[in-house]
A and B are shown apart, each in its own frame.
Chain A
């Protein structure tokens, strides 16, 4: 079976397994909207300004996709690798890439569903009303720019055991979200932090999505940066996954 068809198979069964644990899926879907209601909605200075509100909703969506990538992929993969089903799957005649891609796609599907209530709340309770083409472009781009986060999840899930993965993911998520300008808008950063931040894939994803949603344009440096990250992380992830021999104990 082709890698493409096998990816679809892995995606299907990953989703099926997730859907069978309802609390997990409800958690993933509610969390971004809840965070938005608690942290952004109370700030009238943001919600009543169309551009700020659009940027805030965009940032929260980027955050949702990033945390889905780190948590769902990283922790799921670490968990799967600690169980004997994963080595069995590796004995089947299927490509490694199909298995990673299936997990990544399933995560993207759930993150995309989780975006819907967030966009509805944003549209109803803030001044964020992007033009339809901008909205659609931003939705497409947030999915595409989530790939580096998913790949970071793959790296964590392939190198760490389940308990270590939780700790690493939490630290990575905090650093990336803050450094990427998702907690605090980059316009408030000092110059040095702004420069450092622009090298992070999350900051690049934020600039691309905010730029598309507000219609202020997508900076070229962000596009080049995130493409470079995607290639480097992708090669690293495939290499790690291939040489993986399962969980090691000392």
Chain B
């Protein structure tokens, strides 16, 4: 069976900057894949190559077995515009019709309206929508063409909790109905909610590609800050810790903060000002050592 997305040694350079380096990914029908990585990791560049917006500098990218720059290859593809991109002067109903006109067999409008709760918005001009409403319309547009594959780039950034859950539910329902989904995010939670398989991209290369559980375990980190204890002592307790020291305050990004704290207490270390919180993905990536890359990580 041909992959919906087939990328081999895909490289994209902008001048001297390498945005994507030798990326190989296959995405098959019905999959739900999270592309996880910090800002500037190359996620959006990867999507722009898959959508045919840009041409690869080297390597191969196929969409439904064809060249993504060929309009016919994009017939079963859905993607989202940036939420702020919607044409301000057009009404939501018109934007839905405008986009639907490009597809041979679009989703009936009533179904889109119901799935994404757009009923009250149809007669409004896009410029009059709130940020959250614009985002809902933008995500709905990805499904207008009744696609077999949708690419969702940071779909719920800036949404409140309720709106985010509603949108996730709508996307999950489409996935359950057989639509493959690729979702990018730098929020672990969003990926956890939607994806079954996760591809971690950082610095333009694929760092990891595996099941959700495996990847989450490898990037989940806690950030422990405390004073009164030297970095050497902490490294002795947890050799995998990633440490920074500023003004006598030690910050340790670790995999198991509970074990570290227990060890500190057991040893009777005179620490103070202890705080523990979940590490951001950026912090976690600094500690994530990719195979064959020993320069990153514990510093």
Residues of chain A touching chain B, judged by Cβ–Cβ distance below 8 Å, are 1, 5-6, 9, 13, 16-17, 20-21, 83-85, 87-88, 90-96, 245-246, 250
Contact = CB atoms under 8 A, between A and B. Distances in A.
Given A90-B52, A95-B71, A17 B90 contact: yes
A22 B270 CA distance: 72
Given A1-B104, A13-B90, A91-B52, 20 more contacts: A6-B101, A17-B87, A17-B90, A21-B89, A83-B85, A84-B81, A84-B84, A85-B81, A85-B85, A87-B53, A87-B81, A88-B79, A91-B51, A91-B77, A91-B79, A92-B74, A92-B103, A93-B72, A93-B73, A93-B74
Contacts of A17: 87, 89-90
Name the prevailing secondary structure of the B interface residues: loop
Contacts of B103: 1, 92-93
B77 A93 contact: yes
B10 to A, nearest CB: 16
Given A1-B102, A85-B81, A93-B102, A13 B94 contact: yes
B71 A9 contact: no
Interface in B104-153: 104, 125, 141, 145
B89 A20 contact: yes
A157 B103 CA distance: 27
Given A91-B51, A92-B102, A250 B74 contact: no
Q: What 3 A-B pairs are tightest by C-beta distance, nearest first?
A: A88-B81, A84-B85, A20-B89
B125 to A, nearest CB: 8
A16 B89 contact: yes
B87 A85 contact: yes
Interface string B22-49: 0000000000000000000000000010
B268 interface: no
B271 interface: no
Nearest to A8: B101
B14 to A, nearest CB: 8
Contacts of B86: 85
Contacts of A91: 51-53, 74, 77, 79
